[in-house]
Structure 1
Amino acid sequence: MLNGKKIVLGVTGGIAAYKAATLCSKLVQKGADVHVIMTSSAQQFITELTLQSLSKNPVYSDTFDEREPSVVSHINLADLADLVIVAPATANMIAKMAHGLADDMLSTTLLATTAPIMVAPAMNVHMYQHPAVIENMRILESRGVSFIEPGEGLLACGYVGKGRMEEPESIVQVIEQYFAEVGQVKPRLLEGKKIIVTAGGTIERIDPVRYITNDSSGKMGIAIAKVARDMGAEVYLVAGHIDVAPPKDIHVIPVQSAQDMYDAILALWEDTDVVIKAAAVADYRPRNAADQKMKKSGETMTLEMVKTVDILEQLGRMKKSQFLVGFAAETNDVETYTREKLIRKNCDLMVANDVTTEGAGFRSDTNIVQIHDRNGLVEQLPMLSKEEVAHRLLTIMAERVCGVHS
């Protein structure tokens, strides 16, 4: 899959720079033509000679070290790349990318390239959670930059948390998957269909500054919306709280509460062909949300909770020609609960996962799902990216809605 692909590998200054050597080696073993750019800080952790020996290509670190008179190095690297990956990516480099700074060889090349860009962050857990870093990553995601999430564990600084650069083997798999998808043209199986996709977690207000929500990032719903758009559908994304930017060329309807989400769906319901309910909707809300911030008093506080509207169940009762897909996030007895939920809510398909399984929970870039209909299990999918899960789900759905096969 990577044979002959020209990959520019940017290495920035963090202890995870040592992993860049393994990543470079594995990419070369897969047949990739790897060109490495290092920052001056990266050179404090690993040498140019190491990466030159592994890549079999010159390593660049100085914008003004022009080795070939016939080309400008950073423009040449920017133009030749089929893919640029920054691994590890420090908070500093992410900030430079977000704000268009170009003060070294790597940031200048990144600003000049039109190739797809992937970023594998690596930093202290508190840095990774800092609002400035989060905002910079959101900016880059909105521009189409892909992020390979760091893992959790013991960091070099001594903290335990999220911030450890993803392992090189996993990064190579992500890169292979990207080139596999680029090489495939998704058939427009849903041409002319109007599809509502819900994503993210709902917010149920306690008072103006506090609320109840859940761990949903919206990644699964957004992946479905993106693939549905690529398959030719007119997509309406009803989005609660989400951690990633929605794709372009779809209608985005932001909502907060379960009631907001239900109202937004109803406004589109009559001429909709498909509703895919991937959002994690709160089951309960405070009976009375305070108009002003509730002040602390006493050792305990009691909130009276009432059920929210069961959106999926209501849609199941109302549906006529609409095709309804639900999601079931379970922690045990997945098949039993999924079958019961599918029948009770009158769905056509139900997508279930065990959120306690590594690689299948909230906020993950991957998922492990079962797809059920009224006759039982339709398909059990292994661990796949959420976009791959979306593609398989929508293909199965298109066969039933449109009577077409990919």
Structure 2
Amino acid sequence: MSGSFPTESLQRQKRTSLLLIAASAAAIFILLELRFVPAFNDKISGTPNYMRPIATAVAHALNLKVSNSPILLAQDNQRSCSTVQGAGPGAYDNRQFYFVITYSEKAYSYCLAVYSAALPTAPPEKLTVLGPAMGENYGERLSSPVKVAPVGHSETTFSPAFLSSLLFWKNDPEKYLRTLPPGQLSPTTGVVLPGNEEVNINLLDLRPEVAKEYDLINLLLVNGVILASCSLLAMLLRLWNTYQAVRKKCLTYGYSAGWSEFLFQSAAQTVLSAQEPHYRKERESQALQQQSKAQDVLRRLHLEIRAKLERLLESPLPEQQKLRIKSSLSRDDLEEMKAVAEELESLHSQKTPEERVNALLETIKEYCAPHQFTRYQQEALEALHEKGFREAREFIVKAHAELRVQAKKS
């Protein structure tokens, strides 16, 4: 019934919009929960990794301190660095050093192992081969494996509570710093190089690096909320436009579709709700028009029949037929008047012109003497034969009127 109006297309568009609105709203709710509910946020952020940022900072600081030396960084949960012992004088060349920094997230420790190019006199059990695949290199490029001897190591282990109080993104380091004695510097960590040189880093400077993954996750969550919100707004606008299209169609039928009606009904049902009363009123209006037209036809027919009978009444008809016409007109019944008119017309149409003239002459017979009637009859028949029935009829009507006037005077 909706014709060419695309109700199916609009219904699919409405269904898609509602599904995407529900999905967007659910996504916003979940993402907000993950972002702002601490238990959920901690769960997806995971356990903070403190040791890699510390070991990486040590590698960068060491690279600034020494030159022409490879600096390898690798994770080692077995803490094999702590077993590295110096090979002793005469086992290595003091002119070229190699630094290997390892860390363990489980043990909250990092270790710097210092190696030097091995001399032929180095004990075989002390020798180690360093290669490019051992870890990330923050110093001089190591193009091929090299045989080295250990010089010594420097290891540092932290307590989890200490690292958490300083580096965990949700903790305020000021609480820990207020517990330090007056004049004590900020917490640092460092390693000792050959020649007793030290490389130190400020732990507080590492807070942004430790929180980097946490910040990235939260940034993604916030961006997800923004994208889901944009999707929600776009789908709401699309749904509103769909509603306006359906409502505009309904208004052409004089029906204003409500928002709730649009949501809980299909587009076709909503348009049908507008069309049914409109078409019903249209059918009723057409029926009334047809009824009025039929009444007009009957009224015109009634007037025409009455006019026809009244004309017949004025014509020179036999008195008995005139009485019948008057009786029919007084009752004013259409069917009766129609039957009388048709009967009289049929009677006149079946007679010959001479018979019709003689029938008309009968109307003046009572107003004149026999010899006068004969004269009128002869003149009427002569008029019929010479000029036609109409002239003869007019002659008889004129004679009838004159004779009636004379009869009234006498």
Taking structure 1 as the reference length, what is the TM-score of the superposition?
Answer: 0.17
Larger radius of gyration: 2
Query: Relative CO higher for 1 or 2, CA cutoff 8 Å, sep ≥ 6?
Result: 2
Q: Which has the higher helix share?
A: 2
